[in-house]
Amino acid sequence: MADHGMTPMPPSLREYSRKASIVGVGETDYARDYAAERKRPEGWEPPIIDDLCKLAFDRAVADAGIDPGEIDALALHYTFGGPEPDEMVRHLGIAPEKAWVNGHIFAGPLPNIVGRIISGEVKTVAMLFGIGNRSSGRQFGGNTYSAGMAGPASYYYFHPWGWSSQAAHWAMMAQRYFAKFGKREEDLGHVPMIVRQHASTNDNAIMQKPFTIDEYMASRYIVRPLHLYDICLVNDGAVCLIVTSAERARDMPKAPVDIAGWSESYIEQDKFRVMVEERLRPQIQAAGNEALAMAGLSVGDIGHFEGYDVASIHLVNQIEGFGFTPDGTGIDFAIDGQITLGGRIPTNIAGGNMSANYMQGWGQVPEIVRQLRGEGGARQIAGLNASLSAMTQTDCVHPVIYTKGE
Amino acid sequence: MAEKRPPRAMVGAGNEEFWQGCDNGELLIQKCGKCGHRPWPVVQQCEQCGSDALTFEAVSGNGKLASWCTFERPYYGDLMPVPYDTILVELDEGPWFISNPKGFANTEAELGMPVKVAFLDCEDSHGAFKLPVFERA
């Protein structure tokens, strides 16, 4: 397989299942920081990654109820750069034996750390992700992307045709989906509308105000046929996960959440056809089945899904691809109430990337931990034992399965 | 008159033949000498079999409309005034090709609509060139 530039994951072996657990989570004040960035009151300064990371770290340690001295390793994850490990260690006021930069977007790094815990290389790890792409004015399209940053199939290639935006990938998918399955914009609009309803129960969601289908239709287009509400947010923030061996986790204050399965699959050829026609279905199925087999579970055992809703249509692709509903029926499934509380598979239950926060996959893990601990409050999924997250991009998918620790 | 366009990012690095082909009114797509795969965009090694025995060969220029979307945000400022249409064409030889429609708008687009290549006189910061676009077949 080609080198995809992602954090390497150990193989999806049965004996690696439930060997490590998440024992603490911390997040920054996404909603408050976003509002301040928009208003830019007198004296406002953009948040720096150092401080965002420290806040998430302090909260994760407090959540875990452990002494920070128990943390022997600090794994740092930045998509667009951040402080050097020694600098961050000083800023956090800890003295781990090991601190290093371990990749960026979510999924790969977590199994990677589990592998290091299993091998005995590290014991209790603080995994920190921090990003400041909102305050830096980052645009996910046009000339802001340089040729040096993207692979040959990425969008800088298509400048002469004016085709250059992350959202345009999802727009091409959605348009073909509409034509193929006889759906319309106002049908798809139910998906972000439901995710927004979920966000309305989350005090830390950036967008909490519900909208109607009429409001959805009246909203501006980003790339037609996709509206503003179909696309994820861009915001600043940090997430911290404290991970340790399942054995040690049993002696810690909080109910452990075990890492039960993982996998990954990439489009290796004909990217545009597989992305737009297949909507990554072969990749999602292959990786999903492998992660389930590793966890010793079937799709029917998964009671909660946190999909990568960088765009509404891509959440539909994942709900269908993992087998919660047949190909082409995801929108109807959502309209039928099946992706919300009380439905078959409550999905992006705290607001996902479209309404709660955009932490490149990391932001959905704290909700999984809360749900599996039974700390979901008004949005708690009853009787939950297993959750699935999926970091799903234009050309790859990284599912991770989490189970309630015994 | 040549239409001004955003720069061809890939001029050079194995892409010269593609753009030279366009200048000659031909759509040249790589073909793998080992497995026959037709990759697009340009690759250094075949994405199907890993061979580097790749040569540029003309395709028919015929295809079907596979999808389309309309840009509403001015990523390129005055160079590409919004809204403007982009399309995805499934070439008869296999590859899926990002382009622009010529002589029709996305509001008239239909899935599977037969299209054929045409070459538009354009100009970017590298100079004059011909841009492959697609019209109704």
pLDDT at A149: 40
Enumerate the residues of chain A whose CB falls inside 8 A of the CB of residue B106. 224
- Residue A358: pLDDT band (50, 70, 90) is very high
What's the pLDDT tens digit per position in B79-101?
999 999 999 999 999 999 999 99
Q: Can you tell me which residue has the tokens 């015929």?
A: B62
Residue A85 has pLDDT above 80, yes or no: yes
Q: Does B3 lie at the interface with A, CB-CB under 8 angstroms? A: no
Q: Does A149 lie at the interface with B, CB-CB under 8 angstroms? A: no
Residue A117 has pLDDT above 90, yes or no: yes
Enumerate the residues of chain B whose CB falls inside 8 A of the CB of residue A160. 5-8, 122, 124, 129, 131
Using CB atoms, pick whichever of B37, B86, B96 lies closest to residue A276: B96
Dihedral (C-alpha) B12, B14, B16, B17: value to the nearest 10 degrees?
A: 180
Using CB atoms, pick whichever of A142, A168, A223 lies closest to residue B76: A142
- What length is written for chain A? 406
Nearest CA in chain B to A169: B69
- The answer to whether the beta carbons of residues B112 and B60 sit under 8 Å apart is no
Judged by CB atoms closer than 8 Å, whether chains meet at B67 and A156 is answered as: no
Compute the average pLDDT of residues A161-188.
Answer: 95
DSSP category for residue A119 = T
Enumerate the residues of chain B whose CB falls inside 8 A of the CB of residue A171. 69
Enumerate the residues of chain B whose CB falls inside 8 A of the CB of residue A173. 67
Judged by CB atoms closer than 8 Å, whether chains meet at B43 and A152 is answered as: yes
- Residue A194: pLDDT band (50, 70, 90) is very high
What's the pLDDT tens digit per position in A245-271?
999 999 999 999 999 999 999 999 999
Residue A379 has pLDDT above 50, yes or no: yes
Q: Does A3 lie at the interface with B, CB-CB under 8 angstroms? A: no
Alpha-carbon distance of B8 to A403, in angstroms, equals 49
**Best mutation target, A156, A175, A276, to test chain B (most B CBs within 10 A):** A175
- Residue A406: pLDDT band (50, 70, 90) is confident
Judged by CB atoms closer than 8 Å, whether chains meet at B67 and A175 is answered as: yes
Judged by CB atoms closer than 8 Å, whether chains meet at B110 and A157 is answered as: no
Strands B114-124, B28-32: pairing is unpaired
Provide the ipTM: 0.96
Compute the average pLDDT of residues A128-153.
Answer: 56
- Residue A203: pLDDT band (50, 70, 90) is very high
Q: How high does pLDDT run on average in chain B?
A: 94
pLDDT at A183: 98
Rounded to a whole number of angstroms, the distance between the first and last alpha carbons of chain A is 36
Q: Does B78 lie at the interface with A, CB-CB under 8 angstroms? A: no
Q: What percent of chain A has pLDDT over 90?
A: 83
DSSP category for residue A153 = T
What's the pLDDT tens digit per position in A8-22?
899 999 999 999 999
Alpha-carbon distance of B89 to B100, in angstroms, equals 9
> B 16-35 residues with CB below 8 A of A?
none
Enumerate the residues of chain B whose CB falls inside 8 A of the CB of residue A3. none
Compute the average pLDDT of residues A197-210.
Answer: 98
Using CB atoms, pick whichever of A147, A158, A277 lies closest to residue B98: A158
- Residue A151: pLDDT band (50, 70, 90) is very low
pLDDT at A347: 98
Nearest CA in chain B to A175: B67
pLDDT at B28: 96
**Best mutation target, B11, B78, B89, B98, to test chain A (most A CBs within 10 A):** B98
Residue B69 has pLDDT above 50, yes or no: yes
- Residue A135: pLDDT band (50, 70, 90) is low
Which has the higher per-residue pLDDT, A406 or B109?
B109
Residue A153 CB-density burial (10 A; 0-12 exposed, 13-18 middle, 19+ buried): buried
Q: Does B72 lie at the interface with A, CB-CB under 8 angstroms? A: yes
What's the pLDDT tens digit per position in B27-36?
999 999 999 9
Alpha-carbon distance of B28 to A20, in angstroms, equals 52
Judged by CB atoms closer than 8 Å, whether chains meet at B86 and A272 is answered as: no
State the DSSP H helix or E strand holding residue A131, giving kind and residue range, or none if neither.
strand A125-132
Residue A382 CB-density burial (10 A; 0-12 exposed, 13-18 middle, 19+ buried): exposed
What's the pLDDT tens digit per position in A267-321?
999 999 999 999 999 999 999 999 999 999 999 999 999 999 999 999 999 999 9
What's the pLDDT tens digit per position in A34-59?
999 889 889 888 888 999 999 999 99
Phi, psi (deg, nearest 5) at residue A155: -75, -15
Judged by CB atoms closer than 8 Å, whether chains meet at A165 and B73 is answered as: yes
Enumerate the residues of chain A whose CB falls inside 8 A of the CB of residue B42. 152
Q: What percent of chain B has pLDDT over 90?
A: 82
What is the secondary structure of A265-311 as a DSSP string? EE--S-HHHIIIIITTHHHHHHHHHHHHHHHT--GGG--EEEE--SB
Residue A147 has pLDDT above 50, yes or no: no
pLDDT at A44: 86
Q: Does B69 lie at the interface with A, CB-CB under 8 angstroms? A: yes
State the DSSP H helix or E strand holding residue B135, giving kind and residue range, or none if neither.
strand B127-136
Compute the average pLDDT of residues A353-375.
Answer: 97
Query: Domain extents for chain B?
Result: 3-136
- Residue A141: pLDDT band (50, 70, 90) is low
Enumerate the residues of chain A whose CB falls inside 8 A of the CB of residue B19. none
Nearest CA in chain A to B76: A142
Using CB atoms, pick whichever of A152, A162, A272 lies closest to residue B42: A152
**Best mutation target, B69, B121, B126, to test chain A (most A CBs within 10 A):** B69
Residue B128 has pLDDT above 80, yes or no: yes
Two tokens, residue A336: 């039928």
- Residue B126: pLDDT band (50, 70, 90) is confident
Residue B59 has pLDDT above 50, yes or no: yes
- Residue A134: pLDDT band (50, 70, 90) is low
Using CB atoms, pick whichever of B8, B110, B133 lies closest to residue A159: B8
pLDDT at A137: 54
CATH architecture of A14-138+235-249: 3-Layer(aba) Sandwich (3.40)
pLDDT at A16: 98
Q: Does B119 lie at the interface with A, CB-CB under 8 angstroms? A: no
pLDDT at A300: 98
Q: What is chain A's alpha carbon radius of gyration, rounded to the nearest angstrom?
A: 20
Judged by CB atoms closer than 8 Å, whether chains meet at A269 and B47 is answered as: yes
Q: Does B11 lie at the interface with A, CB-CB under 8 angstroms? A: no
Judged by CB atoms closer than 8 Å, whether chains meet at B124 and A160 is answered as: yes
DSSP category for residue A141 = B
pLDDT at A148: 39
pTM for the complete prediction? 0.94
State the DSSP H helix or E strand holding residue A243, giving kind and residue range, or none if neither.
strand A236-245
CA distance B131 to chain A (A): 8
